[in-house]
């Protein structure tokens, strides 16, 4: 993988999408909160920490006396909330988080490596009557120390992060093969009257495992995928490759960017659900909640929908992506795992005797074609 390597935290889940999709709509009691197993006095290293969200304030709380954020000069305050809604990063100006009757949630990630390609991102819930000191140093690393109280962890967040790592792995088709795929499509375009005709030819090539197509594809390092999601890896790789090929058929021009990689990833969240794409797109449109100008719920008629038409209705890519993260992860998780099976299958074996069969390729291609049509 070339430009989006592990060292810069490649498999990142955008903070705002995770926090709003998995935290904002839910109270703590509705989430899977488990013991973080961090003990008093323990040093926990991190590369980045932030997205402070505080809960359970009372009407008489004063930020100067009960604010959980303690600065280096000893003053206290509530967390700052930037306009982008992503919460406050824990930088060098923050000494501690001290809670009384509050809960404070922080997202922490460590440096990515071979065993933690996603950076081991975790969402901690600092409990009531707890002190955590930040910007501590040990053995050349920065971290926090639990001074008193306790820290819990959101298990749902951890699952979501693992899933997003997986979806980045499949979207790496864009990185390792995107330029070749794009060129292949443009070379083939002149042989067909319409984009629909070319799309049908692409789907047929995948159903027959065309040698010409097969020569285009590389593979991201398989250690980037968490083991429990290795089920049907070869088939899912073929689906990701077909999706990007059809995306090129309907107008995508390869030009490397992180945004383009992310865009394919969110496409795969939709397409990997293996549901009727019309039903899925209507569900996404209906869950946007409202239009920024009218505050009325977004509705769709009986028209045939595509990604492009939904984007026009709901107001753009960011709204689409955040809604996908609310609507799709549970469905996709069930498709990418096989409980009791995947954990017993070595990842490398998921690539042996694999690949998508003709019927599955045809069905997936039909849905992807409908999704990408303009």
Nearest to 337 by CA among 166, 142, 189, 104: 166
Query: What digits encode the pLDDT tens for the residues 313-347?
Result: 777 787 787 778 777 777 777 777 654 344 434 44
Give the domain range for residue 138. 6-159
Q: 163 and 228 in contact (C-beta within 8 Å)?
A: no
Per residue in 152-169, pLDDT tens? 998 877 777 778 878 888
Are 108 and 194 within one domain? no
Q: What ranges make up the beta strands (E) of the chain?
A: 33-35, 43-45, 48-55, 69-71, 76-77, 94-98, 103-109, 122-126, 131-138, 141-148, 151-154
97 and 138 inside one domain: yes
pTM of the model: 0.69
Q: Which pLDDT tens digit goes with each residue over 358-368?
A: 888 889 999 99
- The verdict on residue 167 lying in a domain is no
Whether 111 and 178 map to the same domain: the answer is: no
Question: 137 and 226 share a domain?
Answer: no
Tell me how far apart the alpha carbons of residues 130 and 148 are, in angstroms, rounded to a whole number. Answer: 5
- Residue 302 clears pLDDT 80, i.e. is over it: no
Higher pLDDT among residues 323 and 64, named by residue: 64
Residue that is last in its domain, among 138, 159, 180 = 159
Sign of CA dihedral 185, 187, 188, 191: positive
Q: Does residue 149 share a domain with residue 36?
A: yes
pLDDT in the model for residue 40: 97
- Give per-residue burial for 241-280: e unless 16+ CB within 10 Å, then b: bbbbbbbbbbebebeeeeebbbbbbbbbbbbbbbbebbeb
Asked whether residue 33 falls in the same domain as residue 83, the answer is yes
Average pLDDT rounded to a whole number, residues 134-162: 90
Q: Which of 18, 86, 25 is nearest to 289 (CA)?
A: 25
């Amino acid at each position: 993988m070339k430009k989006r390597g592990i060292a810069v935290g490649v498999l990142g889940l955008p903070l705002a999408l995770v926090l709003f999709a998995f935290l904002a709509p839910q109270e703590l009691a509705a989430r899977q909160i488990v013991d973080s197993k961090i003990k008093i006095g323990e040093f926990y290293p991190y590369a980045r920490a932030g997205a402070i969200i505080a809960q359970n304030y009372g009407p008489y709380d004063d930020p100067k006396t009960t604010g959980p954020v303690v600065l280096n000069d000893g003053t206290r305050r509530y967390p700052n909330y930037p306009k982008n809604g992503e919460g406050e990063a824990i930088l060098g100006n923050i000494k501690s988080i001290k809670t009384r009757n509050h809960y404070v949630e922080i997202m922490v990630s460590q440096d990515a490596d071979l065993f933690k390609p996603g950076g081991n991102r975790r969402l901690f819930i600092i409990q009531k009557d707890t002190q955590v000191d930040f910007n501590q140093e040990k053995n050349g690393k920065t971290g926090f120390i639990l001074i008193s109280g306790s820290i819990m962890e959101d298990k749902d967040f951890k699952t979501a992060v693992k899933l997003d790592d997986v979806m980045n792995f499949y979207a790496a088709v864009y990185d390792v093969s995107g330029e070749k795929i794009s060129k292949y499509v443009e070379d083939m375009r002149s042989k067909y009257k319409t984009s629909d005709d070319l799309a049908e030819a692409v789907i047929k090539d995948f159903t027959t495992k065309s040698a010409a197509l097969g020569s285009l594809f590389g593979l991201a390092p398989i250690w980037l995928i968490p083991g429990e999601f290795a089920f049907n890896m070869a088939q899912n790789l073929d689906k990701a490759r077909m999706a990007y090929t059809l995306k090129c058929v309907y107008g995508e021009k390869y030009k490397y960017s992180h945004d383009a990689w992310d865009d394919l990833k969110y496409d795969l969240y939709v397409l990997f659900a293996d549901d009727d794409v019309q039903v899925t797109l209507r569900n996404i449109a209906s869950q946007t909640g409202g239009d920024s100008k009218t505050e009325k719920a977004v509705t769709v008629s009986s028209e045939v929908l595509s990604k492009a038409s939904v984007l026009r209705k709901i107001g753009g890519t960011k709204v689409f992506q955040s809604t996908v993260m609310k609507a799709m992860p549970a469905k996709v998780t069930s498709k990418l795992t096989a409980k009791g099976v995947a954990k017993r299958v070595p990842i490398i074996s998921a690539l042996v005797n694999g690949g998508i069969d003709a019927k599955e390729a045809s069905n997936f291609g039909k849905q992807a074609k409908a999704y990408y049509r303009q």
